[in-house]
Amino acid sequence: MSAPLPTLAQLLSPFPVHAFLRQYDGKGPALLRPVVSTPLDLARLDALVARTVLTWPAVHVEDAHGAVHPDTYTLPEARSGVAWRIDVGALAEALGAGHRVVLSELQRHHAPTAHLVRAFEQALHMRGSATAVLAPHSAGPRTLRAEGVHRHLLQCSGFRACTVVGPDGHEDTFEVTAGCALYVPPQHAVTMAPARGPSLSVDLTLKPMRARDVAAAELATVSREALRACAPVGVLARPGAASEQWAGMVDELLDDADHQAALESLVDRFVQTRLPSLRGQLHALDTRLEPHTRLRRRPGVMARVVDLDDAVELRFHGKVVRFPYGGGELARYVSESPEWRPADLSSVPEPNRLELAGHLVAEGLCEVLT
């Protein structure tokens, strides 16, 4: 059974969420101390590489000058196309030579990290990605630039000093120990000094919504008739003289835009395009549901309840379950309750309760608790 997702308050400890979000808009770095355990340790990283049969470039090695050619740490008989199987023993030799081992897109292979990324995504509606970096104490400093992303450096094992440089050149230095995380805002660079002993860290990046995406969503809510209106006379021939007329026209267009609908459409698109984590779903389909079978929403599944004129839709990861008009309370109950049973669905006729529960399990929204 999957572990429950940590809450945003846990991940941002010791900051209250509202206080951290004031800093979150790129105002400055912050040292976090998550109360949840870090998602990897050194032993499990080796086991992950060996068990999951990871390949290059999902795993690659870096020295002081950049990427090392994969033929030094892959199996000759397992090289096909662009995916070459990793030789776990060769990774140990690379670490002994002072090289780093980098696992990009870690959340695709490691469930606890996937849950961690999804917790941030679900709370903040930003697309996330995680990269693990294993470095010996002999590895040199590593510099990362967060130009358009929010970065969280989770220290799983070891200790290192990190220096964050802001766009104005101001420097802050943090001592990041195991169990802590360093938040680095956009437009800031971070240099990680050589670790004191073996170091394992997870670089979690979150890509924020862009202003042009919001502008496009706003424009999409404007009526076609308004968009067909003629531009001010001379706007192309005399752009300097016509700029005020054009600005006024844009203001009029957006005055009539439904700002809430535009933002809702972006959130809905984000939720609907995230791939769900469906570990164990096929096994769950073989489980016979009873009136008192315990169910809950799958950890990591993002869901939204949308009230329409004639129905209610429960939307999650590209799927839609429709409820009759007035079914919003039921949709919220099955998607938000920590635990529920088909017998608890008193608003649903008894013959249909197991059918609804089975449908939600089959679609991947819910899982059976054992």
**3-class secondary structure, 97:** coil
* Residues 318, 202 within the same domain: no
Q: Do 51 and 106 lie in a common domain?
A: yes
**Distance set, CA 228 to CA 67, 194, 215, 224, 231 (Å):** 53, 60, 18, 6, 9
Q: Do 289 and 356 belong to one domain? A: yes
Which residue from 9, 42, 1, 12 is spatially nearest to 204, judged by alpha carbons?
Answer: 12
Q: Rounded to whole angstroms, how far apart are CA atoms 257 and 13?
A: 38
50 and 111 in a single domain? The answer is yes
Place of tokens 């995680």: 130
Task: Give yes or no for residue 63 having a pLDDT over 60.
Answer: yes
| Average pLDDT, rounded, for the chain | 85
Parallel/antiparallel/unpaired status of strands 100-103 and 199-207:
unpaired
CA distance 181 to 130: 13
- Angstrom distance (rounded) from CA 25 to CA 224: 34
Query: 299 with 160, same domain?
Result: no
Amino acid residing at 95: L
Contact 203, 143 (CB under 8 A): no
Report CA dihedral (304, 307, 310, 315) to the nearest 10 degrees.
Answer: -10
Same domain membership, residue 146 and residue 24: yes
The reply to whether 136 falls in a domain is: yes
Helices (H) and strands (E) in the chain, counts: 12, 20
pLDDT computed for residue 282 by the predictor: 64
Per the CB < 8 A criterion, the answer to whether 205 and 151 are in contact is yes
- Residue identified by tokens 């690659």 is 60
**Residue 86 covered by a domain:** yes
What is the C-alpha to C-alpha distance for residues 324 and 122, in angstroms, rounded to an integer? Answer: 26
Say if CB 213 and CB 266 are below 8 A apart: yes
The parent domain of residue 306 ranges over 281-368
How deeply is 115 buried, as exposed, middle or buried, from its count of CB atoms within 10 A (0-12, 13-18, 19+)? buried
Q: What distance in Å separates the CA atoms of residue 293 and residue 197, rounded to the nearest whole number?
A: 49
Confidence check: pLDDT of 358 > 70: yes
pLDDT at 61: 94
Vertex 82, ends 78 and 85: CA angle to 5°?
30
Q: Which residue has the higher pLDDT, 74 or 275?
A: 74
Whether residue 266 is contained in a domain is answered as no
In the predicted model, is pLDDT for residue 184 greater than 60?
yes
Domain tally for the chain? 3
Residue 342 has pLDDT above 90, yes or no: yes
* Shared-domain flag, residues 183 and 83: yes
pLDDT greater at residue 99 or residue 26: 99
d(Cα 244, Cα 240) in Å, to the nearest integer? 8
96 and 124 both lie in a single domain: yes
Confidence tier at 205 by pLDDT (50, 70, 90): very high
Q: Quick one: pLDDT band at residue 312, thresholds 50, 70, 90?
A: very high
32 assigned to some structural domain? yes
